Amino acid sequence: MGKSKNAKQNREGLAELTKAFAEPEYIRKQSYAIATVESLIRQYEQQKGTKHKVINSVSERIKTAASAAEKLERKGYEISYEQAVQRLNDLAGVRIVCSFRDEVYQVAKYLIEHPQLTIIKTKDYIKKPKASGYQSVHLIVSMPYPYGEEGETVRAEIQIRTVAMNYWAKLDHQLCYKQEKSTPQETEQVRKELLSYAQEIAKIDKKMLALRKKIEAM
């Protein structure tokens, strides 16, 4: 009976989220957070003025209702719009892919020190990778929302990584999605291989950075 009740509440919560996430004002708020971060990145590129391209790509996304509901359930929270807005820091997300490892930290430093942003949390998964091998620098930021009530803010999650780290993360996502029908033994084998490849990619990143510095010194 309990499971049936929870399932019903989850369905109702997802329906509420789906409706709320489709509202123009919600989309406007998340889009504003994304646009603000992207504007700061364009400013950074203009100020940097390096001979090579620092930012390889910038992508963004607004979290779907289904994804928000799954995360709330996984973390043990009620599935509701109020909980999603209060608990989830990644409703708006921006991914910045840099050419080299040192530039990840340069971009992160620029954003951390920028007066337009307030840093809520930082996580360095490059210095301390996740158990899976995942590497990236994550920033949770907030900024004033000028179109809302006085003092209102919006939040965004910023992921900053190298091209190689991004390549690994994309493959990890694809392969893990396909593991749903795999046996535990097959899943474990894939996990071990992904971890070893993540370690190899980290070594390549360091070597490419050393090579770039060598070329710059010529």
Structure tokens belonging to residue 25: 């004002």
Q: Distance (Å, rounded) from C-alpha 10 to C-alpha 13?
A: 5
Structure tokens belonging to residue 109: 């430093």
Burial class (CB in 10 A: 0-12, 13-18, 19+), 136: buried
pLDDT > 70 in the chain, percent: 93
Q: Helices (H) and strands (E) in the chain — how many of each? A: 7, 5
Label residue 3 by pLDDT band (50, 70, 90).
low
Q: What mean pLDDT, rounded, does the chain reach?
A: 91
Encoded amino acid at 173, one letter: H
Provide mean pLDDT across the span 49-69.
Answer: 89
Torsion of CA 177, 127, 94, 172, to 10 degrees: -10
Q: What is the pLDDT of residues 63-115, one digit of tens each?
A: 999 999 999 999 999 999 999 999 999 999 999 999 999 999 999 999 999 99
Neighbouring C-beta atoms of residue 116, cutoff 10 Å: 13
Q: Distance (Å, rounded) from C-alpha 161 to C-alpha 69?
A: 27
Could you tell me the pTM of the whole model? 0.90
